[in-house]
Chain A
Amino acid sequence: MNRKVGPAIRKHTRARRRFGPFAVVTAAALIASACGGGSSSAPPGGSAAPAAISGTLRLFSYSDGFAPAYIKSFTEQYPNVHLVKEPFGNGDEAVAKMQAGFQADVVNSCVDENTLTMVQDGLYQPLDVSRIPDWNNIFPAMKGLPGVQVDGKVYMIPVDAGTAGIMYNADVITTPPNSWMDLFDPQYQGRAAIEDNSTTAIDIGALANGITDPLSMTPDQLDTVKNFLIAHKGQFRTYWQSDSDITSLFKSNEVVISSGYPGNAKILQRDGMNVKFAVAKEGQMLWTCGYGIQTGASNTDAAYALLNWYLDWHQELFEAKTWNYEVANQLILQHASQALIEDASLNAPNSFANAIPASPPENRAAWTQVWQEVKAA
Chain B
Amino acid sequence: MAEAAGALRPVAIQNRIPARLRTRRRFGLGARVSFVLFALLVLYGPLILLAVFSFNRSEIISLPWSGFTTTYYHEALGNPDLRNSILNSTIVALIVAPLCVVIGTLMAFALTRFRFRSRGVMGGLVGAPLILPWLVIGIAALLFYAQIQRTFHVLQLSLRTVVATQVICTFPLVTAIVSAQLLRFERSQEEAAIDLGASRFQVFRYVIMPHITPAIAASAIFAFTWSFNNFEISYFTGGFQLLFPVWAYGTLRNAPNLPIINAISTIISAVQVILIVLAWWILRRRGGGAKAILGALSAEAEPTVTALTGAE
Residues of A in contact with B (beta carbons under 8 Å apart) = 1-2, 5, 8-9, 11-12, 15, 19, 22, 26, 29-31, 33-40, 58, 62-64, 66, 68, 84-89, 96-97, 100-104, 242-244, 247-249, 251-252, 264, 267-268, 270-272
Contact = CB atoms under 8 A, between A and B. Distances in A.
Contact of A12 (B62, B115, B149): B115
B62 A243 contact: no
A20 to B, nearest CB: 11
Contacts of A102: 142, 146, 157, 236, 239
Which applies to chain A's interface (DSSP): helix, strand, loop or mixed?
A: helix
B253 A39 contact: no
Contacts of B161: 33-34
Contact of A267 (B60, B110, B142): B60
B158 interface: yes
Given A248-B62, A252-B62, 20 more contacts: A8-B114, A11-B114, A19-B110, A35-B155, A37-B160, A39-B156, A63-B250, A63-B253, A63-B254, A64-B254, A87-B250, A89-B249, A100-B139, A103-B146, A242-B252, A243-B255, A244-B61, A267-B255, A268-B60, A271-B66
B58 A34 contact: no
Interface string B54-86: 000011111100100000000000011100000
Interface string B113-133: 111100000000000000000
Interface magnitude class on chain B: 35 or more
B143 interface: yes
Which applies to chain B's interface (DSSP): helix, strand, loop or mixed?
A: helix
B163 interface: yes
Contacts of B145: 34, 101
B106 interface: yes
A35 B251 CA distance: 30
Contacts of A37: 156, 158-160
Considering residues B62, B145, B150, B247, which has the most beta carbons from chain A within 10 angstroms of its beta carbon? B62
Interface string B231-275: 000001011111000110111111111100000000000000000
A85 B85 CA distance: 11
A9 B109 CA distance: 15
B146 A100 contact: yes
Given A34-B164, A36-B160, A88-B250, A100 B113 contact: no
B250 A62 contact: yes
